[in-house]
Structure 1
Amino acid sequence: MITIDAFNEFLTKIDHPSQRERIEEVLSWISETFPQLNKEIKWNQPMFIDHGTYIIGFSLAKQHLAVAPEGVTIAKFSEQISKAGYTHTKQLFRIGWEQPVDYNLLKEIIQFNIEDKADATKFWR
């Protein structure tokens, strides 16, 4: 597994080995699939940024990995998120620690945000 330097400090603070491995796997996959995105930690959360605008971020909870692509994106992909077996709020969706990661869905969500925010001049929508 490739460790992402920008996220090392965040990853070393995760006590549960399987959770650390899962988030590292997801972050590495995004880094390899979208190498143009900048990796940053803001508000103690790993995030991917494109030309100064937020694309996607993650946080950890006891039962799940929270994926936050912004509300516009959750609304657009709500049905697909539910079909993947994930629950969601207006701002994030949850991948249970025992659930598989739907990388095709994750790729579509990130690609949508990159394209939708191509002309964005602010961090948030």
Structure 2
Amino acid sequence: MEVFAEYLAHIDNPEHRERTEEVLAWVTKKFPQLMPKMAWNQPMFIDHGTFIIGFSIAKHHLAVAPERVVIQHFSDEIVQAGYDHTKELVRIRWERPIDFSLLENMIEFNITDKADCTTFWRK
């Protein structure tokens, strides 16, 4: 989590900081094989040099970015969890609970789907 310390320290709202830290710590613990990394001023996790999932914060939500393919695959589950999404990210409003099961499924999908991927992003 040290790699994210400076990012977390710059989150002004203590509740948003705590929630973001909770999610990042959960990913780190649940998927210890993933490498935490800061890139494009966002915390993200990579596997064998390929992007798996990234996070960012906004005034009203925590954004989860697992790549377009994952959002398309889990679109119904994302909506059922009470989140809205674009083609590239899922918005978890600060007042909504985190659906860790959904998050786990999206990460596992990406790890499996990108097992043979040799580039950072999907082509």
| Normalised TM-score (structure 1) | 0.97
* 1:122 is the counterpart of 2:119: yes
- Identify unmatched segments of 5+ residues in structure 2: none
1:112 CA displacement:
0.3
Give the structure 2 partner of residue 25 of structure 1.
22
CA deviation after TM superposition for structure 1 residue 109, in Å: 0.2
The equivalent of 2:82 in structure 1 is 85
Aligned-partner Cα distance in 2 for 1:6–1:115: 25
Partner residue, 1:49 = 46
**1:67 CA displacement:** 0.3
Q: CA deviation at 1:106?
A: 0.2
Post-superposition CA distance 1:3-42 (Å, at most 9, x none): x111001101111000000000000000000000000000
Query: What's 2:99 paired with?
Result: 102
Q: Give runs of ≥4 in structure 1 deviating > 3 Å.
A: none
Residue 102 of structure 1: how far off its partner (Å):
0.1
What RMSD, in angstroms, separates the aligned Cα atoms of the two structures?
0.3
Structure 1, gaps ≥5 residues long: none
Matched, 1:67 2:64: yes
Deviations 1:43-65 (A, max 9, x none): 00000000000000001100000
Identity among equivalent pairs (%) = 61
Cα deviation code 1:45-99 (max 9, x no counterpart)? 0000000000000011000000000000000000000000000000101000000
Q: What amino acid sits opposite 1:83 in the alignment?
A: Q
**2-side partners of 1:22 and 1:50: how far apart?**
24
**In 2: Cα distance, 1:19 partner to 1:58 partner:** 13
